[in-house]
Amino acid sequence: MKILLQTTLLVFSALTLAAQRPWLKVERPPFKEAPSFITAGGALYALADGLAITYRHGESWMQIDSIRSHPKALTEFINGSTVCFTQEPGSSVVHTFYSISGTNFSESDSLDLNTHHVVGAGWSGNTVYIATAEGVLYSWGTTIDSLIVPAVQGATVRQALISNELFCLMTTAGLFVSTDTATSWALKNPPSKLDGLDISTDVALYQGALLASTDQGVFVYDAKSGEWSAKGLWQAEAAAGRVLAIAAEPPYIVALRPTPSGRVQMYRLEHADSTWIPTAYEVPMPHPAVYASACSIDAGWVVAYFSDETTPDSTGVYAYNLNDMSDVQVQDSKSDIQLKTTKTGLQVSTPINQQGMVTVHALNGAEVLRAMLSPGFTDITLPDHLRGPLGVYIRTDSGQEVRSLILW
């Protein structure tokens, strides 16, 4: 028993020391321009002066030759399809391409936008929308229609988010939100110490909720109340401050923040009631430029493009595996979920009216088991070859989450 206890302590001590790992520099998409990243259909796309796709989190990019140069927006659509919009520099014509496989795109339509320039796209219901920098939305449904957003006129739209729950336009005049499919809009700026415009640097959707990065941390918007609230708590040594970019994919939210020395540190939020946790070493360049559109989460991997004029050789695409459970400190959950080991595997206790899912990961991030949780107690049998340290992630249908390291 004493030897087992010492072994357990040594394993967890080693895991704690290994809690921070470096970013991995991965392959850059085959383009001259700096890319922006979008996840769709189980793949990661890079948009620049061409379109490329990867299924390996930033490695092995494949250029999609059927797409004309300068894709401006890309979005998932119904039945797992993907829609891409291209617009040549100086041209008013937008070409629409459609794909079922994600790699073979066929042109399906074109539209003259007059003097408007595409900045984003998304879908709601059975309609695809594209947003322009000039504050005009175009919709593809049974007909092609244009929707002028009066509140935005005179401002420049920099980013657009479109979903079934809400529409958001991030502009030089602030954040405009619509919860009635772009019929009416309201200025909904998150809290900030800055006066005037450009108080938000990035926006993202997380499980239907709107997130915004500001000079005071990350905020989440409640569409019902129309109010903002802080998302997560910051440790004393990392008090709420400027956030350069955010990315979200359940169960992860990450934020990129500048350090006092001018470098960039990544933080992640483990679950709804947790504190932002510093994750990974600082980005490996002295003064990295962060591009909000070039930071995405792809199946648990953060993929981001950074550049630094002082060290051009370090400029490129970097990846970090959030699934690697050696990052996760052993923690007690404040939720109603209980986890313990048994002779044959695991026992998970959830509230009697809640179902859920449990996934088990090896320390290199590989998923080794996935099982459904029944209300109450669920016994999960693990094969003997998995004995040792494992990462466990539990999520109930109500959104409660637990991430923990175990020694089995």
Q: Is the pLDDT of residue 72 over 70?
A: yes
3-state secondary structure of 268: strand
pTM: 0.77
pLDDT: which is higher, 191 or 1: 191
pLDDT at residue number 273: 55
pLDDT at residue number 176: 94
* Tens-digit pLDDT profile for residues 220-267: 999 889 999 999 999 877 787 899 999 999 889 999 999 999 999 999
- The DSSP code for 241 is -
* Contact between 217 and 239 (Cβ < 8 Å): no
- Please check whether residues 318 and 334 belong to one and the same domain: no
* Contact between 203 and 170 (Cβ < 8 Å): yes
Q: Is residue 1 part of a domain?
A: no
Structure confidence at residue 271 as a pLDDT band (50, 70, 90): low
pLDDT at residue number 303: 98
pLDDT at residue number 199: 61
pLDDT at residue number 135: 94
Q: Is the pLDDT of residue 54 over 80?
A: yes
Residues 393, 221, 301: CA angle, nearest 5 degrees: 35
Q: How far apart are CA 220 and CA 166, in angstroms?
A: 13
Q: Is residue 352 part of a domain?
A: yes
Token pair of 52 as six digits: 């490329």
Mean pLDDT score of the chain: 85
Q: Is the pLDDT of residue 405 over 90?
A: no
Q: Is residue 305 part of a domain?
A: yes
Domain count, the chain: 2
- Please check whether residues 354 and 304 belong to one and the same domain: no
Q: Is the pLDDT of residue 269 over 70?
A: yes
- Please check whether residues 353 and 310 belong to one and the same domain: no
Q: How far apart are CA 2 and CA 7, in angstroms?
A: 9
Q: Is residue 9 part of a domain?
A: no
Contacts for 103 with CB less than 8 Å, ≥ 6 apart: 53, 62, 64
- Please check whether residues 306 and 339 belong to one and the same domain: no
3-state secondary structure of 309: coil
Q: Is the pLDDT of residue 89 over 80?
A: yes
- Please check whether residues 359 and 281 belong to one and the same domain: no
- Please check whether residues 347 and 257 belong to one and the same domain: no
* Tens-digit pLDDT profile for residues 194-217: 654 456 789 999 988 999 999 889
pLDDT at residue number 118: 96
Q: Is residue 5 part of a domain?
A: no
Which of 51-65, 224-238, 298-312 has the lowest average pLDDT? Answer: 224-238
Residues 56, 59, 62: CA angle, nearest 5 degrees: 90
* Tens-digit pLDDT profile for residues 326-385: 544 444 445 678 888 888 888 888 887 788 888 888 766 677 888 888 888 899 999 888
Tokens 């939720």 -> residue: 335
Q: Is residue 114 part of a domain?
A: yes
pLDDT at residue number 20: 67
pLDDT at residue number 376: 85
* Contact between 391 and 403 (Cβ < 8 Å): yes
Token pair of 167 as six digits: 């529409």
Q: How far apart are CA 116 and CA 316, in angstroms?
A: 31
* Tens-digit pLDDT profile for residues 162-178: 999 999 999 998 899 99
- Please check whether residues 275 and 390 belong to one and the same domain: no
Structure confidence at residue 67 as a pLDDT band (50, 70, 90): very high
Token pair of 200 as six digits: 């938000």
Q: Is residue 6 part of a domain?
A: no
Domain boundary among 327, 351, 368: 327
Q: Could you write out the DSSP letters of every residue in 38-102?
A: EEETTEEEEESSSEEEESBTTBS-EE-TTSPS-EEEEEE-GGG-EEEEE--TT--EEEEEEESSS
Domain boundary among 290, 311, 327: 327
* Contact between 391 and 356 (Cβ < 8 Å): no
- Please check whether residues 214 and 267 belong to one and the same domain: yes
Assign residue 343 the CATH number of its domain: 2.60.40.3110
- Please check whether residues 321 and 392 belong to one and the same domain: no
Assign residue 98 the CATH number of its domain: 2.130.10.10
* Contact between 371 and 348 (Cβ < 8 Å): no
* Tens-digit pLDDT profile for residues 306-330: 999 999 999 999 999 988 755 444 4
Distance of CA 292 to the CA centre of its chain: 11
- Please check whether residues 308 and 270 belong to one and the same domain: yes
Q: Could you write out the DSSP letters of every residue in 144-160?
A: EEEEE-GGGTTS-EEEE
Using alpha carbons, select from 234, 227, 156, 151 the residue that is nearest to residue 190: 227
pLDDT at residue number 351: 80
pLDDT at residue number 143: 67
Amino acid in position 183: T
Q: How many helices (H) and strands (E) does the chain have?
A: 1, 35
Environment class of residue 116 by beta-carbon count within 10 Å: exposed (0-12), middle (13-18) or buried (19+)?
buried
pLDDT at residue number 375: 86
- Please check whether residues 210 and 99 belong to one and the same domain: yes
Rounded mean pLDDT, 55-80: 91
Range of the domain at 203: 20-327
pLDDT at residue number 33: 93
Domain boundary among 278, 296, 327: 327
Q: Is residue 13 part of a domain?
A: no
Q: How far apart are CA 45 and CA 54, in angstroms?
A: 7
Rounded mean pLDDT, 97-101: 92
- Please check whether residues 210 and 81 belong to one and the same domain: yes
Q: Is the pLDDT of residue 17 over 80?
A: no
Q: Is the pLDDT of residue 149 over 80?
A: yes
